[in-house]
Structure 1
Amino acid sequence: MASDLALPINSVLADILEAIASHHQIILQAPTGAGKSTALPLAILQSGIVAGKIIMLEPRRVATRGVASFIAQQLSQPLGEQVGYRVRGDSKVGKHTQLEVVTEGVLTRMIQDDPELNGVDLIIFDEIHERHLPTDIGLALALEVQSSLREDLTILAMSATLDELELSTLLPEAVTITSEGRSFPVEVLYRPVSSSQDWLAHMASIIVEEVNSGKDTGAILAFLPGQKEINQLAKRLLASISEKVLVCPLYGNLSAAEQDKAIQAAPVGFQKVVLSTNVAESSLTIEGVTTVVDSGYQRSATFNPKTGVSRLSLTRISQASAIQRSGRAGRLSAGKAIRLWSQEEQGRLSKASMPDIMLSELTSTALDCACWGAKQINELALLTPAPKVHEQLAWQLLQRLCLVDTDNKITPLGRKAHDLGCHPRLAHMLLTAKSIAERQQSDLGLLACLIATIVEARGLPAKGADISRYLPIATQGQMGQQAKQWQRKLAIKGELTSVSLQASDYDIGHLLALAFPDRIAKSRGQLGFLLSNGTGVTLAEEDSLAHETFLVVADFQQTQGRNAGRVYLASALDERLLDNELSQLVQQQRHSGWDDKKGRFFASMRTQIGSIVLSDKPDTNISDADITHALMAQIQQQGLSLLNMTDTAKQLQLRVMMAAHLDNVTDKPWPDFSDSGLLATIEQWLKPYLAGVKTLSQLNKVDIDKLLLNFLSWPQQQRLNELAPVNWPMSTGTKAPIYYQLPTNDQGEAYFDLSQTRALLSVRLQEALGLAQSPTIFDGKLTVSMELLSPARRLLATTADLASFWNGPYVEVKKEMRGRYPKHFWPDDPLNANATKFTKKKTPGL
């Protein structure tokens, strides 16, 4: 942390302190480097203006610890005295702690445990612009506490920018204060990667170039997407630079000591290169940085509702993130930022990153809401509403785990699960295991504590996917402390070490299935495994679980460019569990449909777990209703092409679609005759007439023309013939056919667009003689285009303006046709000639 407190925030400290004394909602806009995360809370403490406790929410663990440590140092106090911190699994607070810096949903837990927040007078939300989900939820709950229980509670929302943030909507009574950022200039250079070069190698060469430049550049801060790239780049640099250059990784899974090494100033005579994820983008200050090298990448986790897991992908950062990152070079003095992309590409980056709530799995958030009494996440005052699909899946999983009821009201089991403070899946496993263990007098509850610890652990060593291999380390160090914490919360007696040595695959598989019933997997040979939720996953061929028949998968990831997810944690599943402890997951379902290869209906009784079929036995008890249902399903799947859609039926379809847009006279609305509209109403116009139809060939003989016509009322049929006749009476007595045309989309489905809608009337040219204008239909709203044919019925011309045709193109047509068809009438004055359908010899008067 920077030791210089002559920060821009100092110029508005008096205004902020006055606002805290007189208002209960304050919005502070202060750019990165202004000192809002450090100097401001320190000044509030020293002013004595807040008598009670101050809670300050930081979105990242590294920053939480760093901010608390820095403020404690300024007060010449150890952590845990006046200033402390809480992160999940680690805290340093004491009975005299007034300022607590917290993160990772700790604030949400505090509010849930004590909705009145007794003793808390001020809550500070830092870096709201980063839009972390715990921050959004914490702010929403704090606002509810303030509005309903604690009018005296003060909320201070701090953001580097207010662009596209509707904070004033959530805090309508807030006073807004703006602080300037540091004015140290940052030179931005663009060094894009060539198409033939690996970006990581390019980044390494840029950093080596900066280190070897001979200039006193201070510390270099390099931004990379993740731990994997950081470790790869560190190896490259250590092989190319002096021992006087310290290469310091910085990411969330590092120990506190390693994080401190990256944050603190380099020893005298050494230069420091910090390789960081985006944890260093905002509130965390790294001593001595004057140069930033930015890869421009981030690793984004986006929840995939189809698979129920988050998909990792390497993506470009936003313009806002690029600005934040480059600003790190100018906190202490003038600096420079090197971006490994072009200036042109900078302009194409998205303006800002997506809020977490749009990208995250929401099961824990939904349980928080249920515990609070909300039945929908969007009942809370949120800056961005939760996606409906993500929220729906979260509630469905909570219902399946019996943590909420069908009305999303929290159950007694759900209340206990929330009190455990872990993911609802693991909480359900822990509580169920404890209940089973008490009945059976077994150690299943203790084993569940170890399994939960392994699943939640960060940075596990590489021991393969089999979760049993991690049991010995789950009893040691920080993991062991977490396992013992679960043991204490559940009030389970016993020795974790002995349980870890005696654990069986049978019990481990049982426990994991309690947490992940939708991730039971069955082998499908070289294609890997199929999860019960329908997702495909794979294991490394050399992994000990690769040849198992059944698995339960605790952790897998989908990555960009791969069709199947990669399994990272799993257990073998003993098939006997499916007949005993897990029998409630097994369902008997009748499955029927059409066998496309055999061209016939089939039915069977399937025993399955979700998408996994355990057995499939033929069912010979087939009714007419079964066949009709299967036929309807086939039509819905393959479309109207399965039906005998004759030209007459298709023309009727187009005529009705045009009438629906061009006619506003009828009392009864025209039905939707588009492909999708007819499929949506197929139960009404087709299903009643499928009695006795048992094959696709019989289906193809059903008179669709008649059924579609009968779907229209009698007045509609009459009105349609008036608006859009199928033929036009010529003066010669010929009924010239009219063909209707609509544009089609990429799927071949017709849609209405007046500019591309046509009605074509085909008739021999001699029968149109004397006709000055083309006919009109739909009460004059559409002019018919006429296809004028030769005596041999070959197309001569198409026109919707006969008068123009007679006065122009007809002259050339007449010259050519007189020689080819001398027996037919080609008058010089077609407008005043009589129409005929005969040759000159058979036409009187010629």
Structure 2
Amino acid sequence: MELPIQQIIPELRQLFRDGDTGVLTAEPGAGKTTVVPLALLDEPWVEGRKLIMLEPRRLAARSAAARMAASLGEKVGQTVGYRVRMDTRVSAETRIEVVTEGVLTRMLQQDQGLEDTAMVIFDEFHERHLHGDLGLALALESRALLRPDLKLLVMSATLDPVPVCGLMGEGTRWLACPGRTFPVETKYLPKPAAASVESFTAQAVVRALREQEGDVLVFLPGAREIHRTERELGILGLPPHVQVHALYGSMPVERQDEAVRPAAAGWRKVVLSTSIAESSLTLTGVKVVVDAGLSRASAFSPRTGMSRLVTLPVSKASADQRRGRAGRIAPGVCYRLWSEEAHSALPEAARPEIASADLAPLALELAAWGVGQPEELQWLDTPPAAAYGQAQALLRQLGGLDDAGRITPFGRRMNALGVHPRLAGMLLRAAELGLAGYASVLAALLQDPTGLRGSGSAGTDLRPRVEALLSAGSSAASQTAGSSAASQTAAADAAAVRRLLQESRQLRAELGPAAPDPARPDEDSCGLLLSFAYPDRIAQRREDGRYLLSSGRGVRLPATEALSRSAYLVAADADDQGADARILLAAPVSEQRLLDASPHLLQEETLVAWDRSTRSVRAKRKWRIGAIVVKEGSIAQPPEEDVLEAMLDGIRLEGPGCLPWTKSSRQLADRLRFLHHHLPDWPDLAPAADGLSAELQEQLRPFVEGMRSVQDLKSLSMHDILLSGLDWGKRQQLDEEAPTHVQVPSGSRIPVDYSDPEAPTLSVRLQEMFGQQETPRIAGGRVPLTLHLLSPAQRPVQVTRDLANFWRETYFDVKKDLKGRYPKHYWPDNPLEAVATNRAKPRT
């Protein structure tokens, strides 16, 4: 039957005869992945060049190439070939290359103009993988600067085309194509809260086999859940003609192909898959989908520099993609293991990987491209600044970038290896030490730490896993071709070992000629190599299995683990949960071996600081690996300038109370505060309850030189220090504007209390103010004093700032009360004409 997309092929051809960019949205079943490249291959603008089609996953890339080659009656590697990591099938006659995202990035880095390429097709772009976004950004840059004739096509089933068209520029056309799909009935089977995902999924599979016809495709979040569900199905029991297959990205190629291959006549298949089967793959015979509704993604924390796998509900777009797999060949059924209400709460689409991933690989690729900051390129979603800054900091630590953010020669060698920069740096440094073979095995394991299962390799310590794989490799070398070397190793799964050995051999080959390594691994080798990859995760033991990472993060191990007694570890993985994350994978290393191999990690720090416990300046020299203090010692003669700054810090920390205030210096400080409050041109030299002003701190500087403790401060004269901040004119103005005393009508000089700069007070016996009509003023007459008029017993009888009103309105009531209590004292009827006195009665 002719595919519906063939109805749109003429428009697609015309689009690329007229322009250079397009977006094609084709529903599942449209066949865009195979029909489009073949249909465009004979266009005049392709002549002499090839088409590159990007697929997000290796299995999808191989499958698409195989289907296209079969439609031409050829083998893969002739007209149609593929390039994926560790597997390439191309030849001189290949004109369509299906590649994975990382491979496309390599091709662009090696030839920024893609001179031998007519077109790049980005398939399944809705998945928004990090390297897919990067590949499109680099291709757009290449087209803008080097290859204006390079044609770009973005294809997807669920993508919103509007922002992509806007990104790709003016003239980009969007073509939509319906798919050849059949109706799919949706059944909701909400999982009980108490049931595990694996057991409930297995029960749903048994039900689906009983109620429906055809093969069953089951979506689970990861390999762990797949294997557990497989065991649950074995317990429940399946009909004898039903085969169960697992399907996930890290499986050996032959087992992936077996899972995808149609079931033999008279047999039914159950394929337990991750999201790898959501798109691009055709699983012939599938009429039923059982969807657990979960997916697994890597979440990166810029705060800790760690990534962790998280299990999340799928988006509506992914759920629809999964559901559509049941309607490719005939009407089908989809069992969703959640409720309709829960479905309405799902996000519309998954977050693009660029928003939450570790951006170290991206930052290294951009530096190799010649870009300093992501904003220099065009993105659908610009990489987050915090995560990108963290990535650049890590790359500087690994030696991949210089201080200006430019790629170093070592960084270019790292980038050429095509693995995470952490592992690339480790492999290159290991080769320098003669440990390339050991490091290649370790790197393969770090890329897939679950690859070895079983008692011999379980636990946190990475060393038994590496040794098991090395042992398996040695066995393989001594056996005949076709035998399973891994079967000699009880701790290893045979297929996983073959895959890991293949990966390690590939990594070793990329490092150069595989001559025997001159160095023999020892008990420190694993931890040492990990320190090259994870300098931010070197861990120093604190107590009871708790460690401090060089990044400053706390981590822990159960005290029962042998590793918890190691003075130093390197944590390759941790769960990043809680105050102290749990270490998942690590290896020990001795301090001396660590420092001998990486002396640049040790940073000397002279610390001259205030010690709150001794209330004095303490000078220490510390040698650190990040936040870890390796050793420290006292400094007898620290730099005087550092001591002075620490002393001033100490005064700030201790507060004004540590200074030797006297009554006169406090009064002077209060007067200065009053003047600064009312006359802003006056310096702020008075201490406050919450500390010292910047001006007062600066004023203290020459007086505390040579001092080291609060005890030394006792020799200071705060009165002299405060006056030293005033020139001769200000000193004269001080006495005029803020006098220490005010003379009252009795002749007495009464001290002014400036503790409240808003309202300075004068506490004076009422009789001493007879004859004065107006309130005394200071600050050049701008501020009236607040009078506390006292009884003969020195108790306030009236508080006022309006003396004239007091004499006029209040005095006679006060006189009546006081005259009865103090009959021997002078209480005139007219206080304004009376003689003021500081005695009981005025002299006659």
Normalising by the residue count of structure 2, what TM-score does the alignment of the two structures yield? 0.71
- Cα gap change, 1:13 to 1:631, in 2 (>3 Å): farther
Q: Deviations over 1:7-66 (max 9, x none)?
A: 332221221122233321111111233211122223334778733211100111221111
Note the 1:72-471 alignment, pairs <5 A. Answer: 72-163=69-160, 166-172=163-169, 173-213=171-211, 215-216=212-213, 218-240=214-236, 241-434=238-431, 436-437=432-433, 443-457=434-448, 459-462=450-453, 463-464=457-458, 465-467=461-463, 468-469=466-467, 470-471=469-470
Partner of 1:55: 52
Any conservation in 2 of the 1:371–1:418 contact (CA below 8 Å)? Answer: yes
In structure 2, runs of 5+ residues without a counterpart are 477-497, 656-669, 682-688, 731-808, 818-844
Partner of 2:649: 629
CA drift of 1:493 comes to 5.1
Note the 1:728-739 alignment, pairs <5 A. Answer: none
Which residue type is aligned with residue 517 of structure 1?
P
CA drift of 1:181 comes to 2.6
The separation in 2 between residues aligned to 1:72 and 1:686, in whole angstroms, is: 83
Does 1:6 find its partner at 2:2? yes
CA drift of 1:101 comes to 0.7
The separation in 2 between residues aligned to 1:390 and 1:319, in whole angstroms, is: 27
The separation in 1 between residues aligned to 2:80 and 2:654, in whole angstroms, is: 67
Partner of 1:491: 512
SS in 2 for 1:524: strand
CA drift of 1:291 comes to 1.9
CA drift of 1:158 comes to 0.9
Q: Deviations over 1:278-305 (max 9, x none)?
A: 1111222222222222222122211111
Which residue type is aligned with residue 471 of structure 1?
L
Any conservation in 2 of the 1:189–1:339 contact (CA below 8 Å)? Answer: yes
Which residue type is aligned with residue 520 of structure 1?
I
The separation in 1 between residues aligned to 2:692 and 2:175, in whole angstroms, is: 61
Note the 1:644-659 alignment, pairs <5 A. Answer: none
Which residue type is aligned with residue 16 of structure 1?
L
- Cα gap change, 1:83 to 1:687, in 2 (>3 Å): farther
- Cα gap change, 1:595 to 1:178, in 2 (>3 Å): same
Any conservation in 2 of the 1:450–1:474 contact (CA below 8 Å)? Answer: no
Does 1:512 find its partner at 2:530? yes
CA drift of 1:234 comes to 0.9
CA drift of 1:87 comes to 1.0
The separation in 2 between residues aligned to 1:369 and 1:19, in whole angstroms, is: 31
The separation in 1 between residues aligned to 2:653 and 2:348, in whole angstroms, is: 45
- Cα gap change, 1:257 to 1:490, in 2 (>3 Å): closer
- Cα gap change, 1:608 to 1:383, in 2 (>3 Å): same
Q: Deviations over 1:500-523 (max 9, x none)?
A: xx3123444433322322221122
Q: Deviations over 1:425-465 (max 9, x none)?
A: 3333333344x45xxxxx34444444434433564213143
SS in 1 for 2:422: helix
Which residue type is aligned with residue 570 of structure 2?
V
Q: Give the counterpart of 1:23 among 19, 34, 39.
A: 19
Structure of larger gyration radius: 2
CA drift of 1:156 comes to 0.9
The separation in 2 between residues aligned to 1:838 and 1:287, in whole angstroms, is: 112
- Cα gap change, 1:269 to 1:689, in 2 (>3 Å): farther
The separation in 1 between residues aligned to 2:628 and 2:180, in whole angstroms, is: 59
Any conservation in 2 of the 1:189–1:337 contact (CA below 8 Å)? Answer: yes
Does 1:609 find its partner at 2:625? yes
Any conservation in 2 of the 1:298–1:314 contact (CA below 8 Å)? Answer: yes
Runs of 4+ aligned residues of structure 1 deviating over 6 Å after TM superposition are 46-49, 594-601, 689-696, 835-839
CA drift of 1:690 comes to 6.9
Which residue type is aligned with residue 447 of structure 2?
E
- Cα gap change, 1:838 to 1:49, in 2 (>3 Å): farther
- Cα gap change, 1:524 to 1:43, in 2 (>3 Å): same
Does 1:534 find its partner at 2:555? no
Any conservation in 1 of the 2:23–2:161 contact (CA below 8 Å)? Answer: no
Which residue type is aligned with residue 293 of structure 1?
V
The separation in 1 between residues aligned to 2:653 and 2:298, in whole angstroms, is: 36
Note the 1:582-593 alignment, pairs <5 A. Answer: 582-591=598-607
Partner of 2:797: none
Q: Deviations over 1:806-830 (max 9, x none)?
A: xxxxxxxxxxxxxxxxxxxxxxxxx
CA drift of 1:573 comes to 1.0
Any conservation in 1 of the 2:611–2:618 contact (CA below 8 Å)? Answer: yes
- Cα gap change, 1:486 to 1:185, in 2 (>3 Å): closer
User: Does 48-57 or 684-693 show the bigger shift?
Assistant: 684-693
Note the 1:698-709 alignment, pairs <5 A. Answer: none
The separation in 2 between residues aligned to 1:682 and 1:253, in whole angstroms, is: 63
Q: Deviations over 1:769-809 (max 9, x none)?
A: xxxxxxxxxxxxxxxxxxxxxxxxxxxxxxxxxxxxxxxxx
The separation in 1 between residues aligned to 2:351 and 2:812, in whole angstroms, is: 74
Q: Deviations over 1:149-169 (max 9, x none)?
A: 222221111122342761112
The separation in 2 between residues aligned to 1:838 and 1:232, in whole angstroms, is: 99
Partner of 1:567: 584
Any conservation in 2 of the 1:592–1:630 contact (CA below 8 Å)? Answer: no
CA drift of 1:243 comes to 2.6
Normalising by the residue count of structure 1, what TM-score does the alignment of the two structures yield? 0.71
The separation in 1 between residues aligned to 2:252 and 2:437, in whole angstroms, is: 27
Which residue type is aligned with residue 515 of structure 2?
G
SS in 2 for 1:254: coil
Any conservation in 2 of the 1:473–1:479 contact (CA below 8 Å)? Answer: no
Which residue type is aligned with residue 278 of structure 1?
S
The separation in 2 between residues aligned to 1:25 and 1:145, in whole angstroms, is: 13
Q: Deviations over 1:351-371 (max 9, x none)?
A: 211111111111121111111
- Cα gap change, 1:627 to 1:296, in 2 (>3 Å): farther
- Cα gap change, 1:210 to 1:302, in 2 (>3 Å): same
Any conservation in 2 of the 1:57–1:101 contact (CA below 8 Å)? Answer: yes
CA drift of 1:385 comes to 0.4
CA drift of 1:618 comes to 4.7
The separation in 2 between residues aligned to 1:144 and 1:270, in whole angstroms, is: 51
Partner of 2:756: none
Which residue type is aligned with residue 143 of structure 1?
L
The separation in 2 between residues aligned to 1:634 and 1:345, in whole angstroms, is: 57
- Cα gap change, 1:480 to 1:229, in 2 (>3 Å): closer
- Cα gap change, 1:344 to 1:406, in 2 (>3 Å): same
Partner of 1:558: 575
Partner of 2:685: none
The separation in 1 between residues aligned to 2:240 and 2:577, in whole angstroms, is: 37
